[in-house]
Amino acid sequence: MPISSTKRCGRCARIKSREEFHRNRARKDGLQSACKECQRSYVQAHFDADPAYYRKKASKRNRVVRADIRKLIRGAKAVPCSDCGVRYPYYVMDFDHVRGKKRFNVGEGLATHSPAVVRREIDKCDVVCANCHRTREHVKRVRKRAAQGWPED
């Protein structure tokens, strides 16, 4: 049976192109019964009817995601320092961005990024203790200043 290039919306009854419907594998034709426009209106009306429900739901989900990211970060810090080889508690360990372009501080990604994005940012870093990180940063600053012709400290 050939697939038509159009479909009638189950809500507004207008005939629209297949691109104006979201996919739905469970349906015979592989598309939702309502067009994207009608679906958007339906979802918005549902949200407007009880916004507190959705805020509560989002808050609960955000707590779970933040806990997952916190666990991910602490797990990534549960390794010995890349420089001195000493194993310290997670709160002593730092992420030093050494590969790729730094998008954000890993600890700040807790509330603003997904676990996958935080994982990619962690992959750009060496895990070092706070002392070794301060030493690395000092050496970087001294080299940068020397390259710019500044006098040594």
Question: How high is the pLDDT of residue 44?
Answer: 97
Going through the chain in order, the beta strands assigned E by DSSP cover: 6-8, 15-17, 21-23, 31-35, 93-97, 125-129
- Residues of the chain short of pLDDT 50, as ranges, are none
For the chain, the domains span 80-153
pTM of the entire predicted model: 0.71
Question: How high is the pLDDT of residue 1?
Answer: 53
Contact 127, 79 (CB under 8 A): yes
